[in-house]
Amino acid sequence: MSRLRERLLQHWFGRARGGLLARVLQPLAALYGVLQACDRRRRERRARALQQPAVPVIVVGNLVVGGAGKTPVVIALVQALQQAGWRPGIVSRGYGRRSAGLQAVDANARADAVGDEPLLIHRRTGAPVHVGRDRRAAALALLQRHPDVNVVIADDGLQHRELRREIEVVVFDERGLGNGRLLPAGPLREPPPPQPGPRMLVLYNHPVASTAWPGVVTSRRLGAAWPLAAWRAGDARRAQPLAALRGRRLLAVAGIAVPERFFSALEAAGLQIERLPLPDHFAYGALPPWPASTREIVTTEKDAVKLALPAADGVDAPAIWVVGLDLALPAEFTAALRARLALGRERAAVDASPSA
């Protein structure tokens, strides 16, 4: 399966994009497009008959499969809205969790119960988070439990059309639209319109735009290096500048969509690393995936929420450093976001009740 996945990625994003395999799969992509369009219309009709949140909803998502850096964008959005006086709440599917149904996320939750990304978002922002496959139901449950919330952010819900939204934040990374084909011939979840719709704000999680769509470019940088226990406790006094890890033998571990992005940033910061890429949302078990001889590890926050703290007497346990990713939203983007939220607040209240 991993070999097939790598081959598909090459045809979607790599040197082989648009090659023979993509052309062979094009009839399936055409069928997928018809089914996807029918499903979208059905869900949009159903949304008009369902109760909706009485506050504005911002959906953050991407048009291609796989991660494009949505979680750092959600965290940055929440923090920007908090600084502007809004009280945001977050809903997410909670990909990879073992539990079912709707569930609130708290600081003591386990990643395998609520999902690694929702737990990370809650830890970084302190905002209330609910997970559930049905984002609309999760939003209603969140608002019932937290009536002070006045804006809902849906993480990775662009195709979840039963939840009405005032704003869609579409995130692209350096891969853009790939080969421009629908699944499975390409990476597209839905056919993109020629230009962004009136509710869309386009954000490029990369130094340059990777599609023809107009949008703004974000800047991202690695944060400080925290010992795992200090990061878990939120003890900033023990955080170290990333430069303090230079000159050490480090194993870089990353179970994210594009591990090379993390590895390259570490090397650009002057760290000497060996790479250990893991599948996205990697589930850490009792046996760690690194060699027993490993003495020092640097990893991502998304991995850190799933790692067990070493035992007090674990003299042989490696030291684990957690390095976060900070994303700065351009002022023009936050200004456009606040302007659309102001317009959407009254419309959301009017549209909250189901239509007859």
Residue identified by tokens 């992509």 is 29
CA distances from 215 to 35, 56, 76, 196, 205 (A): 29, 22, 17, 9, 11
**Which of these, 192, 194, 188, 160, lies nearest to 175 by C-alpha position?**
188
Instruction: Write down the pLDDT at residue 312.
Output: 53
Distances (CA, A) of 12 to 28, 178, 244, 252, 334: 15, 5, 39, 27, 32
Instruction: Give 280-329 pLDDT, tens digit per residue.
Output: 999 998 789 999 999 999 999 999 999 987 655 556 789 999 999 989 89
Q: Pairing between strand 103-105 and 129-131?
A: antiparallel
Residues with Cβ within 8 Å of 17's Cβ and at least 6 positions away in sequence, in order, are 10, 11, 178, 179
As given in the structure block, the two tokens for residue 107 are: 């600081």
Kindly state the tokens that stand for 35.
Answer: 């089914």
Q: What is the pLDDT of residues 227-256, one digit of tens each?
A: 999 999 999 999 999 999 999 999 999 999
Between CA 130 and CA 138, with CA 133 as vertex, the angle to 5 degrees is 35
| Class at the top of the CATH hierarchy for domain 2-217+329-351 | alpha beta
Q: Specify the DSSP element, H or E, that contains 217.
A: strand 216-217
Task: Give the DSSP letter of residue 160.
Answer: -
Query: Looking at residue 356, what is its pLDDT?
Result: 47
Q: Is the pLDDT of residue 225 over 60?
A: yes
At residue 16, the pLDDT reads 66
pLDDT at 8: 79
Q: How far apart are CA 126 and CA 56, in angstroms?
A: 20
> With contact defined as beta carbons under 8 Å apart, do 29 and 184 qualify?
yes
R_g of the chain computed on alpha carbons: 21
The domain segmentation of the chain, as residue ranges, is 2-217+329-351, 221-326
pLDDT tens-digit map of 186-205: 999 999 999 999 999 999 99
Q: Which residue has the higher pLDDT, 11 or 162?
A: 162
Query: Band of the pLDDT at 267, cuts 50, 70, 90?
Result: very high
CA–CA distance from 156 to each of 33, 47, 129, 345, 346 (Å)? 20, 18, 14, 21, 24
Cα 221 to Cα 81, 227, 269, 275, 327: the distances in Å are 20, 19, 10, 19, 7
Displacement of CA 62 from its chain's centroid (Å)? 9
Tens of pLDDT, residue by residue over 63-121, are 998 778 899 999 999 999 999 999 999 999 998 888 888 999 998 899 999 999 999 99
Count of other CB atoms within 10 angstroms of residue 37: 12
The pLDDT tens digits of the residues spanning 131-190 come to: 999 999 999 999 999 999 999 999 988 889 999 999 999 999 999 999 999 999 999 999
